[in-house]
Amino acid sequence: MSAGSRRLSFLGVGVAPVLIVSALVGSAAVGLADADGDSRRSGFDFMGPQTQAMQGDDTSNPGMLAVLEGEDIWNRKAGAADKSCADCHGDAARSMHGVAAHYPAFDTGTGGPINLDQRINTCREKNQEAEPFPWESAEILALSAYVGLQSRGMPVQVGDDARLAGAIKAGDEAFHRKQGQLDFSCADCHDANWDRKLGGSVIPQGHATGYPIYRLEWQSMGSLQRRLRNCMAGVRAEPYSYGSPEFVELELYLMSRSRGMAVETPAVRP
Amino acid sequence: MIGVVLALALLPYTVVGDAVPAPLVEAPGDPARGRAVVTSRQRGLCLLCHTGPFPEERFQGDLAPSLAGVGSRLSEGQIRLRLIDSRRLDPGSIMPSYYRTDGLERVGAAWRDKPVLSAEEIEDVVAFLATLRD
């Protein structure tokens, strides 16, 4: 039994056969790639049917609680400017449609890539005149899950901005660089050994199409950088710090590698 | 190929062909302790990648050949080199080098300048693997 199915019963989430139908709908775009001979596969495809069903049905997907919280924050006035996100952006279903599919994106302010969390916090500081949310706080995860949901099912669009070519290359090099006491690169696992078992876990291809995710092992939401810190700690490397340029470059490379695959936010992972 | 490898804080050893024939330490390895290292997810990590004759261990990986019968296939010296520095034989191998501290990047603070296993643990694991015969 996988950790996922163990936790399923722990969470008391029943998996009725009817959920399978919505799971298929939820993942339709995920499987589409195969039709044109694309061998890329979402982490979704490597999960057990119960965890897939949990992600596929919004009433059982625990990430939807974060989405609801995010919607709340979206509409709540904050900061010295006393403005909500909605005051500037209106209905997220329209204004945020497709936005997350483009992140990390070039930021004219910094002249480099920023990820979605950083973009949200830029708005908080500049436009709401409020304190930025701390990394991994419930608030930033909720808002990025809410904004992310507005792109669910849309193809990832990252990778065609010429201004980011250098940063993508840096991320690509980091992906292929051996590190840690165990001396592994990301590619050693995610390019060379995907679909094999590392202990009890199937190694996915490492497509970050569903972040922020609800991870059963964490029993909470978490960002892509938290996931990557786990992978780095696993090979006994010193993880990059949250928000560091190295992390954003790696994130950027990962998303360019997933270009065209469907956004799944909020995904569930074991 | 004969070479003497000297690394800071690590005991020297001599590679002969594809083996390290001489034990790293004088005290003979203890197979029972070696088994405990091999099956530990914190110490040996072996079962993350290998399967082996450990029916009580769930969640064995499938990234590497089974350890069953390895004592019949390889000499103790060959096993020793594969543990000490498997990548010396095949730089493309994913099998970690268990007794090496040089040439590594961004090693986590808790692990810096330390080999994955101590010289004594290497000898314990060699002694244990030598007992795995077909």
Domains of chain B: 2-131 (1.10.760.10)
Give the pLDDT confidence of A192-243 residue by residue, as tens digits: 999 999 999 999 999 999 999 999 999 999 999 999 999 999 999 999 999 9
Spatial distance between the Cα atoms of B43 and B30, rounded to a whole number of angstroms: 16
Closest Cα in chain B to A233: B108
Residue of A3, A24, A231, A235 marked active site: A231
Query: For residue A3, what is the nearest residue in chain B, using CA coordinates?
Result: B59
Amino acid identity, residue B120?
Answer: E
**Whether A231 is catalytic:** yes
Asked if B104 lies within 8 A of A183 by C-beta distance, the reply is: yes
Which parts of B8-69 fold into alpha helices (H)? Answer: 31-39, 46-49
Cα-based torsion angle of the residue sequence A269, B57, B60, A183 in order, rounded to the nearest 10 degrees: 90
**Domain architecture of chain A: domains with CATH:** 3-269 (1.10.760.10)
Cite the DSSP H helix spans in chain A.
3-11, 18-32, 49-56, 63-74, 85-89, 92-95, 116-126, 138-149, 165-176, 186-190, 224-234, 245-257
pLDDT by residue for chain B (134 residues), tens only, comes to 455 655 557 999 999 999 999 999 999 999 999 999 999 999 999 999 999 999 999 999 999 999 999 999 999 999 999 999 999 999 999 999 999 999 999 999 999 999 999 999 999 999 999 999 98
How much of chain A exceeds pLDDT 70, in percent? Answer: 87
pLDDT tens digits, residue range A76-108? 999 999 999 999 999 999 999 999 999 999 999
Sign of the alpha-carbon dihedral angle for A31, A37, A41, A45: positive
Q: What is the pLDDT of residue A24?
A: 35
Chain A hits for B116, CB-CB cut-off 8 Å, are 181-182
> Tens digit of pLDDT for each residue in A160-199?
999 999 999 999 999 999 999 999 999 999 999 999 999 9
For residues A192 and A202, give the distance between their C-alpha atoms in angstroms, rounded to a whole number. 13
